[in-house]
Amino acid sequence: MPNPMPIIINAIEPFAPHFCQERTWEKAKTLVIGAILTPGKRVVTAILRTMGLQGERTFNQYHHVLSRAVWSPLDLARTLLQMLIALFFADENTLVFGIDETIERRWGQKIATRGIYRDPVRSSHSHFVKTSGLRWISVMLLTPISWAHRIWALPIMTVLAPSQRYYEQRGRQHKTLLERALQALTVLKSWLPHHRVVVVGDNSYSAIDFLHGCQQADVTFITRLRLDAAIYDPAPPYSGKGRPRKKGAKQTKLAQRLVDENTLWQTREVTWYDGKTRTIQMTSGTCIWFHYGKPAVPIRWVLIRDPQEDFEPLALLSTCQTDDPLWIIQTFISRWCVEVTFEEARRHLGLETQRQWSDNAIARTTPILLGLFSWVTLVTEQLHRAGHPIAPRQSAWYRKTQPTFSDAIATVRQLLWQTHPTFLTSPPKPDILKIPRAYFDTLIQTLCYAV
């Protein structure tokens, strides 16, 4: 891939120092650009066809970029994070991240880290569905996108969380999902020593040991809290005799506060999951969340109920007791865009269609595909600031009001296809085929939006 446009060069060249050899970097660039342009399955051979390299006899070297070459996805993740912060949060100190896990459905006896898990998409409260696949934990930067008029979750770091059976078969100590997540957040904070790092997750991260580890790593975590959780006042001053106390007097449980007539409720308006303004009632306080045998975790809790009774009451917590309760609510609601990113990555970036089975290639391919979501958004934002319109695709039967990721990747694809002949290293043929402009634009649009 010799000569892409300058805006692409500026967005891709910062990753070059992480590759030891120049020829490996050139092949890696070909795979990255080809993965964006290729519709359907994101396998190496399909990418080579898209890039006009179907006659490449040393095609196995492109497979080796994923399975053998020396480079680290974590190094690329750190560079990507720095680029996103410089573009979206140049003057801000607080960065909000979302964390969640997803199952990449895969089958194959040679995939060592494959396990059997509950399928969260196909399962419900009354119907349990199991699936074979790989479990990934993804940390995403929650970023307001001006031209999309909403918050997007941009994947930064994605790590594999093998099943317990995987560790048992190898005689190794099992690392739970929360232990893996805490490792990832500790690394994330080490990358951002001068920023306040706030992470929001669902109720699977509402565990005392995990939240205590986040506080030790100087990471603020926001998640849900059980209504029957045992909460206490802060421990009284140490008297100098015996072991210091971890907690004080027991506080009223949140479930009891819901029915207590003396509870003081504040009426507030928040932007709900659907983007509309909703009126809620809330109350908040600080406490120590404690369970015997566990560390004491100081938190701020926020209890929410709906005056219209459209949803069940819920409680949230933040490991920073000085956080504003309304900000905690709004930040927790913003985590929903994490689920949108997983779906968009499956639909437009071919997540779950790759077919590598070597451990090294598996550990690299999925983080790269999710990272491409962030990279495409970064390029689209740069185009927008340079005056390039980011318009939603319109039709007579569907009035789309705001651009989505399908429009973002179509914009980047169109930019790449316009310079596609520069990707070819063979001399151009003298034959010229004239194509009507309307027909050519139709082909380009169809290719850009192909799934």
Pair (152, 178) in one structural domain:
yes
- DSSP assigned state of 172: -
Amino acid at 149: H
Tokens of 110: 């040679």
**pLDDT bracket for residue 240 (50, 70, 90):** confident
Spatial distance between the Cα atoms of 407 and 395, rounded to a whole number of angstroms: 14
Do 197 and 336 belong together in one domain?
yes
pLDDT at residue 129, as a whole number: 86
| pLDDT the model gives residue 421 | 54
Distance CA 203, CA 206 (A): 5
pLDDT digits (tens, 9 = 90+) for 396-409: 888 888 999 999 99
Rounded distance between C-alpha atoms, residue 367 and residue 156, angstroms? 8
Same domain, 97 and 196: yes
> If you average pLDDT over residues 151-167, what whole number do you get?
93
Q: Are residues 29 and 163 in the same domain?
A: no
Question: Residue 220 is part of a domain; what is its CATH number?
Answer: 3.90.350.10
Residues 60 and 208 in one domain: no
Residue 164 scores a pLDDT above 70: yes
Q: What is the dihedral of CA 98, 103, 104, 105, to 10 degrees?
A: -160
Number of domains in the chain: 2
Residue with more model confidence, 434 or 230: 230
| Least confident segment among 143-147, 231-235, 271-275, 435-439 | 435-439
Final residue of a structural domain among 23, 45, 71: 71
In a domain, 8, yes or no: yes
Helix (H, G, I), strand (E, B) or coil at 1: coil
Instruction: Please give the pLDDT value at position 67.
Output: 94
pLDDT band at 201 (very low <50, low <70, confident <90, very high): very high
| Residue 409 resides in a domain | no
Distances in Å between the Cα of 346 and the Cα atoms of 42, 192, 240, 280, 318 are: 11, 29, 59, 34, 31
Residue 114 near residue 132 (C-beta atoms within 8 A): yes
Cα end-to-end span (Å), the chain: 24
pLDDT at 368: 97
- What does residue 17 show for φ and ψ, rounded to 5 degrees? -60, -15
Burial (CB < 10 A; 0-12, 13-18, 19+), residue 434, is exposed
Q: Which of 407, 295, 308, 352 is nearest to 40 (CA)?
A: 352
How far is 248 from 171, CA to CA, in rounded Å? 43
Higher-confidence residue of 446 and 111: namely 111
382 within 8 A of 7, measured Cβ to Cβ: yes
Q: Average pLDDT of the chain?
A: 90
Confidence band (pLDDT; 50, 70, 90) for 430? low
Within a domain: 410: no
Whether 367 is in a domain gets the answer no
Extract the tokens encoding 374: 């962030």
Give yes or no: residues 18 and 106 share one domain. no
Q: Look at the chain and count its residues.
A: 451
Structure tokens that stand for 42 in this block: 């994101």
Tell me, yes or no, whether 216 and 176 share the same domain: yes
What is the rounded CA–CA span in Å between residue 195 and residue 387? 31
Q: Which amino acid is at 183?
A: Q
Give domain status of residue 33, yes or no: yes
Query: Does 426 score more than 80 pLDDT?
Result: no
**pLDDT-derived band of residue 424, with 50, 70 and 90 as boundaries?**
very low
Structural domain includes residue 374: no
Domain edge (last residue) among 46, 71, 96: 71
Residue 237 DSSP label: P
Question: How far apart are the C-alpha atoms of 82 and 192, rounded to whole Å?
Answer: 9
Q: Which residues contact 195 (CB under 8 A, 6 or more apart)?
A: 85, 93, 94, 95
Per-residue pLDDT tens digits for 49-99: 888 888 889 999 999 999 999 999 999 999 999 999 999 999 899 999 999
Band (3; pLDDT cuts 50, 70, 90): low
CB of 189 within 8 A of CB of 171? no
Number of H helices and number of E strands within the chain?
14, 11
> What mean pLDDT is predicted for residues 284-301?
95
Is 323 a member of any domain?
Answer: yes
Is pLDDT above 90 for 415? no
Task: Quickly list DSSP for 102-163.
Answer: EEEE---TT-TT-EEEE-TTT--SS---EEEEEEEEEEEEEEEETTTTEEEEEEEEEEE---
Euclidean distance between CA atoms 132 and 359, whole angstroms: 16
Q: Looking at the structure, do residues 22 and 132 belong to the same domain, yes or no? A: no
**Strands 297-305 and 314-318, how do they pair?**
antiparallel
Exposure string of 264-281, with b = 16+ CB inside 10 Å and e = fewer, is eeeeeeeebeeeeebebe
Q: Domain check: are 12 and 77 in the same one?
A: no
Residue 2 reports pLDDT greater than 50: no
pLDDT digits 0-9 by tens, 209-224: 999 999 999 999 999 9
State the pTM of this model.
0.91
Whether 2 contacts 422, CB under 8 Å: yes
> What mean pLDDT do residues 307-313 have?
89
53 & 197 share domain? no
- Statement: residue 425 has pLDDT above 60: no
Last residue of a domain, one of 344, 370, 405: 344
In angstroms, the CA 76 to CA 15 distance is 6
The predicted structure's pLDDT at residue 431? 65
Judgement on whether residues 94 and 184 belong to the same structural domain of the protein: yes
The answer to the question of residue 404 being in a domain is: no
Mean pLDDT over residues 317-328, rounded?
A: 97
Pair (91, 137) in one structural domain = yes
Segment (H or E) for 373: helix 359-385
pLDDT(297) > 90: yes
119, pLDDT greater than 80: yes
Residues spanned by the domain of 64: 1-71
Q: For residue range 16-51, what is the model confidence (pLDDT) as tens digits?
A: 999 989 999 999 999 999 999 998 889 999 999 888
